[in-house]
């Protein structure tokens, strides 16, 4: 019901009246699929055949639309190829919710151009033609001035089109329905405030229990992007169809396509081989079998409702064309990657990406123990083992590149007094920079996962603001950095001044960031003086360490695991390929420190004053290398391992 305020009614009374009307007559919420068939029209921008929306081509879209309108799942994730109607589903749900469950909505796009083109080419035309949007969106009631390209007002709310590279837009208002478009394209971090999705999700917390978050993306070349991770955490629904011969339900896979020819023009027809009875079905059988689809969940109890689907399921798409496209791109690695992502809905796993030798081959020639001159901030990370402390020292630059400067062991574990003294000494160490100036450690993180009490005791002894005692949080949603808790309380339960603070570290996210950063490659620029390497922001630099260091650095990757027992069978986990993962953990702590120090928020003038403080400091050559040097390597391996739910 849409009321229009008469000028004679004061606004306050009007609002009261309006809310009473709402309480008296709650609007009936239809399922998303019912609403779509009744109220939504396609334009020429959506489909080759504009007109009233139907599920003829993609009958399986019904469940996804219903999941968006139900009260069961707060989170719905869709991992899909292009051409399965993803954007249409988005538009339908926004229009339906504006009509039936109005409130503050936002659509988070990876970049401004995608927000602009969605607004102009898809959203505005849909409002024009869809009867379900008529009278709901203000544009039609009050004229265009009410709405801008990025804010569309409707009775009882508005939908804002925001971008993942602007934290201010995300922060402005609480969000009851959040639509996250192409999440795999979001930047790591938005102006040092954290991951865009985290920031936006925080705006939905006021609506916990009644919010709706819809995340979607095609997979990308990232080995394990956001959509893969959300899909894996969810119900993992795939679309099963029955074999016309034996009735066996199976998912459609490009691996079962059978055809003749090696060139695109030679392929005249594509048959499908049943995985069960090996019968060949002609493509024409798809109309029958897809109409008998069933979404089947691998992990039905999950809190996130997640779906995966690809082009072959769209009855408007020809399987012959899918095969021809493959033959066109198969010899071009870049195009083939795109084909995997956009057509097959598969993440491109470049096996060599996890290969430690790739990173090993990029080692640089700067000396160990000396910070390159771009380094302005120095951090230390300490991992506690039974018989030693492992230490990683890194320099941070203005462009958020990180130089690994030193890696060594302090022999003797938490029970060894001399070792504790050497750790305390290390926290006060200074390192020399290539230009002769000294850098002092700005922050040191000590992981308290092992021998917790001993680490607390060590932190009390060092008693420095620079020391961060950390504890890994092993769940996927844990933010990278979170407020610390106080370990030291007095008898009244009050926190003790200078007591130990325990910092939770969202290791899952930071591990993902380490992996992504390891995939960055320098660009080679040709100049008159020869080839020059240009390093991208966030690049990780390594000196000439030995192979063990790089094996440990690349020791984990995220994979889906299938557990034999228990109801929740499938989950994603960081899994070790190499027994020693300490360097990977130390890198995670280093990224934690860069976040907690707020380096990504540093303005130019802050960096300038940091540089001034360093170059103004007198160089104390004698003190420069009082950092403990690498002790003898032990060959013993104590692996705690890290697994995530
Ligand atoms: Zn069969």
pLDDT digits (tens, 9 = 90+) for 100-126: 999 999 999 998 999 999 999 999 999
For residue 210, pLDDT over 70 is answered with: yes
- C-alpha to C-alpha distance for 536 and 341, rounded to whole angstroms: 24
Instruction: Quote the ligand 1 centre to 16 CA distance (angstroms).
Output: 63
Please tell me the distance between residue 288's alpha carbon and the centre of ligand 1 in angstroms.
14
The pLDDT assigned to 495 comes to 73
Dist. CA 84 → ligand 1 center (Å)? 25
Sign of the Cα torsion 121, 125, 130, 132 reads positive
The torsion defined by the Cα of 102, 108, 109 and 111, in degrees rounded to 10, comes to 130
Angle between helices 319-329 and 333-342 in degrees, nearest 10: 150
DSSP-assigned letters across all residues of 463-519 = --TTEEEEEEE-STT--SB---EE--B-TTSPBPTT--EEEEEEHHHHHHHHHHHHT
- 326 or 523: which carries more pLDDT confidence? 326
Structure confidence at residue 131 as a pLDDT band (50, 70, 90) = confident
CA of 394 to the centre of ligand 1 (A): 58
88 Cα distance to chain centroid: 23
Centre of ligand 1 to C-alpha 247, Å, is 6
Q: Which two tokens stand for residue 375?
A: 């380094």
Q: What spacing in Å lies between the alpha carbon of 257 and ligand 1's midpoint? A: 14
State the distance from the centre of ligand 1 to the C-alpha of 202, rounded, in angstroms: 48
- Report CA(575)–ligand 1 centroid distance (Å): 36
273 CA distance to ligand 1 middle (Å): 8
- In the 3-class helix/strand/coil scheme, how is 151-198 assigned residue by residue? EEEECCEEEEEEECCCHHHHHCCCCCEEEECCHHHCCCCCCCCCCHHH
* pLDDT band, residue 509 (cuts 50/70/90): confident
Using the mean position of ligand 1's atoms as its centre, give its distance from the Cα of residue 283 in Å: 14
CA 192 to ligand 1 centroid distance, Å: 54
Q: How far is the CA of 279 from the centre of ligand 1 (A)?
A: 6
d(CA 15, ligand 1 centre) in Å: 62
Longest dimension (CA), the chain: 86
Count other Cβ atoms within 10 Å, centred on residue 401. 20
CA–centroid distance, 252 to ligand 1, in Å, is 12
Q: Which helix (H) or strand (E) holds 77?
A: strand 75-80
Structure tokens at 44: 């020429």
Q: Separation of 244 CA from ligand 1 center, angstroms? A: 7
**Distance (Å) from CA 332 to ligand 1 centroid:** 34
Residue 35 pLDDT greater than 70, yes or no: yes
Mean pLDDT in residue range 208-228? 83
- Which is higher by pLDDT, 87 or 601? 87
CA of 242 to the centre of ligand 1 (A): 8
pLDDT (0 to 100) of residue 522: 83
Q: How far is the CA of 62 from the centre of ligand 1 (A)?
A: 26
Query: Is 557 in contact with 223 (CB distance < 8 Å)?
Result: yes
Which DSSP category does 137 fall into? B
Q: What is the mean pLDDT of the chain?
A: 83
- Mean pLDDT on 628-638: 34
Judged against a pLDDT cut of 70, whether residue 614 lies above it is answered with yes
Neighbours of 569 (CB within 10 A): 13
CA 249 – ligand 1 centroid, Å = 8
Calculate mean pLDDT across residues 179-184.
Answer: 94
Centre of ligand 1 to C-alpha 267, Å, is 24
Q: Are 176 and 105 in contact (CB under 8 A)?
A: yes
First CA to last CA distance, the chain: 45
pLDDT value at 80 more than 80: yes
30-236+298-309: CATH number = 3.40.50.300
> How far is ligand 1, taken at its centre, from the CA of residue 270, in Å?
16
Confidence of residue 219 (pLDDT cuts 50, 70, 90): confident
Residue with tokens 């629904």: 237
pLDDT (0 to 100) of residue 24: 40
CA 234–ligand 1 middle distance (angstroms): 29
Residue 145 has pLDDT above 60, yes or no: no
- What pLDDT was estimated at residue 511? 85
Tell how far the Cα of 265 is from the centroid of ligand 1, in angstroms.
29
Centroid of ligand 1 to alpha carbon of 251 (angstroms): 12
CA 156 to chain centre: 32
Please list, in sequence order, all residues whose beta carbon lies within 8 angstroms of the beta carbon of residue 104, skipping any fewer than 6 positions away: 157, 158, 160, 173, 174, 175, 176, 177
Q: How confident is the model over 279-303, as pLDDT tens digits? A: 999 999 999 999 999 999 999 999 9
Tell me, in angstroms, the distance from the centre of ligand 1 to residue 261's CA.
24
Range 575-592 average pLDDT: 86
Taking residues 238-248, what's their average pLDDT? 96
**Best CA proximity match to 179, nearest among 229, 250, 105, 248:** 105
pLDDT tops 90 at residue 352: no
pLDDT score recorded for residue 635: 31
Q: How far does residue 296's CA lie from ligand 1's centre (Å)?
A: 18
pLDDT at 333: 63
Q: Cα of 297 to ligand 1 centre, how many Å? A: 21
| CA 278–ligand 1 middle distance (angstroms) | 6
pLDDT at 577 (0 to 100):
67
- What is the distance in A from the centroid of ligand 1 to the CA of 241? 11
Distance 280 CA to ligand 1 centre (A): 8
Distance from the alpha carbon of residue 68 to the mean position of ligand 1, in angstroms: 33
pLDDT-above-90 percentage for the chain? 49
What spacing in Å lies between the alpha carbon of 404 and ligand 1's midpoint?
Answer: 56
- CB within 8 Å of 159: residues ≥ 6 apart: 94, 98, 105, 106, 107, 151, 152
- 617: pLDDT confidence band, cut at 50, 70 and 90? low
CB 110 within 8 A of CB 163: yes
Task: Compute the distance from residue 259 Cα to the ligand 1 centre, in Å.
Answer: 18
C-alpha 255 – ligand 1 centre gap (Å): 15
How would you write 401-454 as a 3-class SS string?
Answer: CEEEEEEEEEECCCCCHHHHHHHHHHHCCEEEECCCCEEECCEEEEECCCCHHH
Structure tokens given for 500: 């130990």
Out of 27-31, 229-233, 287-291, pick the least confident: 27-31
Whether pLDDT at 176 is above 90: yes
Ligand 1 centre distance from Cα of residue 336 (Å): 30
Distance 120 CA to ligand 1 centre (A): 46
């Amino acid at each position: 019901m849409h009321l229009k305020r008469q000028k004679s009614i004061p606004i306050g009374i009007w609002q009261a009246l309006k809310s009473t009307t709402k309480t008296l007559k709650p609007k009936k919420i239809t399922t998303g699929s019912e609403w779509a068939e009744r109220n939504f029209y396609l334009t020429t921008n959506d489909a080759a055949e504009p007109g009233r929306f139907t599920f003829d081509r993609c009958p399986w879209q019904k469940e996804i639309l219903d999941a968006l309108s139900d009260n069961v799942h707060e989170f719905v994730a869709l991992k899909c190829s292009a051409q399965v109607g993803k954007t249409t589903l988005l538009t339908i749900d926004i229009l339906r919710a504006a009509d039936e469950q109005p409130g503050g909505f936002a659509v988070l796009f990876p970049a401004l151009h995608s927000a602009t083109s969605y607004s102009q080419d898809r959203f505005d035309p849909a409002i024009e033609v869809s009867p379900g949007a008529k009278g709901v969106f203000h544009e039609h009631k009050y004229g265009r001035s009410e709405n801008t390209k990025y804010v569309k007002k409707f009775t009882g709310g508005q939908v804002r089109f925001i971008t993942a590279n602007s934290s201010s837009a995300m922060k402005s208002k609480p969000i009851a329905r959040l639509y996250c478009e192409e999440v795999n394209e979001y930047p790591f971090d938005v102006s040092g405030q954290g991951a865009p999705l985290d920031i936006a999700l925080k705006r939905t917390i006021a609506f916990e229990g009644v919010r709706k978050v819809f995340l979607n993306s095609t997979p990308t070349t990232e080995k394990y992007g956001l959509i893969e991770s959300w899909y894996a955490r969810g119900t993992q629904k795939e679309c099963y169809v029955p074999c016309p011969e034996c009735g066996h339900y199976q998912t459609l896979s490009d691996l079962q396509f059978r055809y003749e020819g090696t060139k695109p023009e030679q392929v005249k027809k594509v048959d499908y081989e049943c995985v069960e009875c090996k019968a060949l079905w002609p493509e024409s059988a798809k109309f029958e079998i897809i109409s008998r689809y069933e979404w089947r969940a691998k992990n039905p109890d999950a809190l996130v409702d997640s779906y995966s689907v690809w082009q072959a399921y769209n009855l408007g798409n020809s399987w012959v064309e899918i095969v021809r496209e493959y033959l066109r791109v198969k010899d071009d690695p870049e195009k083939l990657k795109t084909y995997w992502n956009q057509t097959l809905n598969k993440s491109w796993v470049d096996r060599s990406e996890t290969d430690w030798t790739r990173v090993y081959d990029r080692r640089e020639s700067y000396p160990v123990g000396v910070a390159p001159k771009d380094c302005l901030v120095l951090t230390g990370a300490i991992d506690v083992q039974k018989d030693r402390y492992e230490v990683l020292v890194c320099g941070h630059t203005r462009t958020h590149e990180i130089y690994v400067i030193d890696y060594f062991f302090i022999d003797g574990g938490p029970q060894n007094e001399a070792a504790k003294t050497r750790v305390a000494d290390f926290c006060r160490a200074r390192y020399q920079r290539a230009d002769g100036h000294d850098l002092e450690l700005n922050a040191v993180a000590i992981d308290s996962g092992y021998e917790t009490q001993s680490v607390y005791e060590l932190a009390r002894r060092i008693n420095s603001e620079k020391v961060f005692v950390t504890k890994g949080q092993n769940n996927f949603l844990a933010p990278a950095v979170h407020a610390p808790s106080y370990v030291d309380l007095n008898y009244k339960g009050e926190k003790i001044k200078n007591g130990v603070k325990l910092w939770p570290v969202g290791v899952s996210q930071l591990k993902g960031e380490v992996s992504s950063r390891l995939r960055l490659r320098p660009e080679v620029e040709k100049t008159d003086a020869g080839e020059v390497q240009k390093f991208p922001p966030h690049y990780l630099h390594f000196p000439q360490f030995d192979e063990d260091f790089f094996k440990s650095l690349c020791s984990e990757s995220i994979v889906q695991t299938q557990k034999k027992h228990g109801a929740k069978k499938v989950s994603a986990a960081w899994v070790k390929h190499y027994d020693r993962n300490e360097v990977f953990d130390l890198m995670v702590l280093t990224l934690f420190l860069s976040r907690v120090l707020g380096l990504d928020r540093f303005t130019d003038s802050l960096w300038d004053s940091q540089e001034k403080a360093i170059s103004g400091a007198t160089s104390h050559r004698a003190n420069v290398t009082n950092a403990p040097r690498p002790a003898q390597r032990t060959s013993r391996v104590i692996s705690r391992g890290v697994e995530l739910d």
